Amino acid sequence: RDHASYAMTLHNLASLNKAQVHFDTSLKATERLNLVESALEYFEEAWAIRKAELGPDHPLTIATQSSMGSTLAAQVLHQHRHVDGQKKYVSLNPEAVTRDGWEAAERHLREALEKAIQNPRGRNVKGKSNKPKKGKKVPPPSAKSLRAESNEKVIET
């Protein structure tokens, strides 16, 4: 159970739970909160495995840490309720609990961002980790593929 493919499956299950929270209008508030908490458990386990198997600076480890941060933020948001007739939400938790949740979410997101900046990866990034293996030629990306990449819409989950 402690291997990279298992961690990938956990990450995907967590993402599924998080997506369901946002798009399934039939869910009750408690069901949404349970799905968010379940997603956090999956992300936590996936993150621990990826740190051990791939290292803390691997792109997949960073992605899981970032997803965990955004899920922590979602958890805080789902612990608020709308005030009828007003354009505001109030926390269902004491202020310190809400503040701690936001701080944990921000910490995960900022750490993931810092690691991503310190360890850039990708075909257009110059550096040792992006050099092709000896004897293998990597063709440059075509204009069509670059255009397609720049037009993709990213949906955070």
Q: What is the dihedral of CA 78, 45, 65, 51, to 10 degrees?
A: 170
Reported in sequence order, the residue ranges of 84-124 that DSSP labels E, i.e. its strands, are 89-91
Reported in sequence order, the residue ranges of 21-130 that DSSP labels E, i.e. its strands, are 80-82, 89-91
Give residue 122's pLDDT band: very low, low, confident or very high (50, 70, 90).
low
pTM of the model: 0.66
Tell me the average pLDDT of the chain.
79
pLDDT, residue 130, reads 45
Query: What percent of the chain stands above pLDDT 70?
Result: 74
* Better-predicted residue by pLDDT, 5 or 90: 5
Q: Nearest 5°: CA angle at 112, between 2 and 8? A: 30
Tens digit of each residue's pLDDT (9 = 90 or more) over 44-72: 999 999 999 999 999 999 999 999 999 98
Name which of 16-25, 44-53, 83-92 the model is least confident about: 83-92
